[in-house]
């Protein structure tokens, strides 16, 4: 099979070669309207211009105005055949052997824009957001920290993908600053609960599935068809205030400790682009109930990394390296379980994986685990340690699949902590 190559120059280390083509939404200048795009190397390809030029000429997209919208929701609602048609069309247009765009200087100038000249926006309108708890290593570590090592994982965890309903309104795009939240923390001794800026602010290394086609109310999605309802994946940092969370979460679960901010990377990498990087999911014991039993249970081999850059420091410190393939419950199981009671998902809904931790201390996905709830300070450099995040800290998550001579990456998911608004 011939190697796919683009007429657009793409550095070998780029996250965005022609094999990827992740979807996003951008603005070229402050006054311009949001427009859908794919990433190719150091450029964004304006899909509105491609559509207006009549180059989406396949049977499913030729009469659609989905790429003239300010977000991707309409495109997502068209379903997997349309997603595949768009990907095939764009790979052909960008290939080194196809002259339609390559030799059209005017269209190239209008549609291929340097990435450093555009502002990336939230690519979807997120109606609902649910956050799962799908990493066994994370569940075990959290249970050990809070309940002790005798019975760290609740019995139900091995039978169903645990989740809670999150807050869609406070989901922000990468690069948005995060203001330290205020709230109540656990009391000390006989004193009343603490109130003020969180003293235990944390990152959570997650990914999230973007729902493509939804399902009708009362009509669950079969687990073996769930992949057709997932458009792609993004990086996600589900910022957490551990002191607020610890005081509030019994009996109804997370609330203010989570709802203040969640950060997403701007590019949605499609499941089709990730297909070469599938791998076996961990063996599930006990076997899942029939509605969660997949004919083929697969994860993705996505290397993940978190860096923290303190204020006034030039170099970031890598604090964890892990892999998406550590997830116990797959994203397709998560989606099927979400709908089994009849719940209807809609295009643009977001399903977070929960913190992704590996088996080793160097692969834990949050400071709660890395510092064992502040008991073991984490060294960032020769004279800087962290128990939890401090004001000015910038957290960057990256994710990448390594192919044969190319990468399929997610770019970065970044946020910097600003002081609380308390007066």
Q: CA 413, 418, 420, 423 torsion: positive or negative?
A: negative
The separation between the first and the last C-alpha atoms of the chain, rounded to the nearest angstrom, is 64
291 known member of a binding site: no
Determine if residue 296 is labeled as part of a ligand binding site: no
* DSSP string covering 124-166: S--S-EEEE---HHHHHHHHHHHH-SSS-S-GGGGTS--EEE-
DSSP single-letter state for residue 190: T
Identify the H or E element spanning 185.
strand 182-185
Report yes or no: 270 and 23 within 8 Å, Cβ to Cβ: yes
- Placement of tokens 């959570």 in the chain: 204
Q: Is 85 annotated as a binding residue?
A: no
* 339 marked as binding residue: no
CA angle 125, 129, 133 (to 5 degrees): 150
Report CA torsion sign: 125, 131, 137, 143.
Answer: positive
The Cα 419–Cα 391 span in angstroms is: 6
User: Which residues are 302's β-sheet partners?
Assistant: none
133 annotated ligand-binding residue: yes
CA angle 124, 116, 74 (to 5 degrees): 20
Q: Which two tokens mark 194? A: 């603490």
Q: How far apart are CA 206 and CA 400, in angstroms?
A: 13
β-partners of residue 131 are 164, 352
Question: Which of 15, 137, 138, 229 does the annotation list as catalytic?
Answer: 138
Residue 249 annotated as binding site: yes
260 annotated ligand binder: no
Closest by alpha carbon to 285, among 121, 136, 81, 150? 136
Has 337 been annotated as catalytic? no
- Closest among 121, 100, 116, 146 to 27, alpha carbons compared: 121
* β-bridge partners, 121: 25
| 147 annotated ligand-binding residue | yes
Residue 27 marked in a binding site: no
Binding residues for substrate: 133, 147, 245, 249, 355
Binding residues for Ca(2+): 131, 204, 206, 238
Binding residues for Mg(2+): 238, 258, 262
Binding residues: 131, 133, 147, 204, 206, 238, 245, 249, 258, 262, 355
Q: Catalytic residue positions?
A: 138
């Amino acid at each position: 099979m011939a190697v796919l190559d683009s007429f657009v120059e793409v550095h070998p280390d780029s996250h965005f070669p022609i094999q990827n083509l992740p979807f996003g939404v951008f603005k070229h200048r402050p006054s311009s309207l949001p427009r859908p795009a794919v990433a190719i190397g150091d450029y964004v390809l304006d899909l509105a211009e491609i559509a207006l030029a009549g180059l989406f000429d396949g049977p499913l997209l030729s009469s659609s105005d989905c790429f003239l919208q300010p977000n991707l929701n309409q495109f997502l609602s068209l379903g997997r055949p349309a997603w595949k048609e768009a990907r095939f069309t764009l790979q052909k247009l960008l290939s080194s052997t196809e002259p339609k765009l390559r030799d059209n200087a005017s269209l190239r100038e209008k549609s291929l824009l340097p990435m450093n000249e555009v502002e990336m926006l939230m690519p979807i309108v997120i109606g609902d957001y649910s956050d799962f708890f799908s990493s066994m290593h994370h569940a075990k570590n959290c249970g050990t920290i809070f309940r002790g090592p005798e019975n760290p994982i609740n019995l139900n965890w091995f039978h169903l993908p645990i989740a809670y309903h999150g807050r869609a309104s406070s989901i922000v795009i990468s690069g948005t600053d995060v203001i330290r939240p205020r709230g109540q923390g656990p009391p000390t001794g006989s004193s009343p609960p603490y109130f003020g800026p969180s003293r235990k602010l944390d990152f959570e290394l997650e990914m999230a599935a973007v729902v493509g086609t939804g399902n009708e109310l009362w009509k669950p999605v079969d687990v073996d068809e769930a992949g057709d309802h997932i458009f792609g994946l993004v990086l996600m940092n589900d910022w957490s205030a551990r002191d607020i969370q610890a005081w509030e979460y019994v009996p109804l679960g997370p609330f203010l400790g989570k709802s203040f901010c969640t950060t997403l990377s701007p590019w949605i990498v499609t499941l089709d682009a990730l297909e070469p990087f599938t791998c076996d999911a961990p063996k599930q014991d006990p076997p899942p109930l029939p509605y969660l039993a997949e004919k083929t249970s697969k994860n993705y081999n996505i290397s993940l990394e978190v860096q923290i850059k303190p204020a006034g420091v030039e170099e970031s410190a890598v604090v964890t390296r892990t892999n998406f393939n550590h997830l116990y419950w797959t994203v397709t199981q998560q989606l099927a379980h979400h709908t089994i009671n009849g719940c209807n998902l809609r295009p643009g809904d977001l399903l977070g994986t929960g913190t992704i931790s590996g088996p080793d201390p160097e692969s834990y996905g949050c400071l709660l685990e890395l510092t064992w709830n502040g008991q073991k300070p984490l060294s960032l450099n020769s004279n800087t340690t962290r128990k939890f995040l401090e004001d000015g800290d910038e957290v960057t998550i990256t994710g990448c699949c390594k192919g044969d001579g190319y990468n399929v990456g997610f770019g970065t998911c970044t946020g910097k902590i600003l002081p609380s608004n308390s007066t």
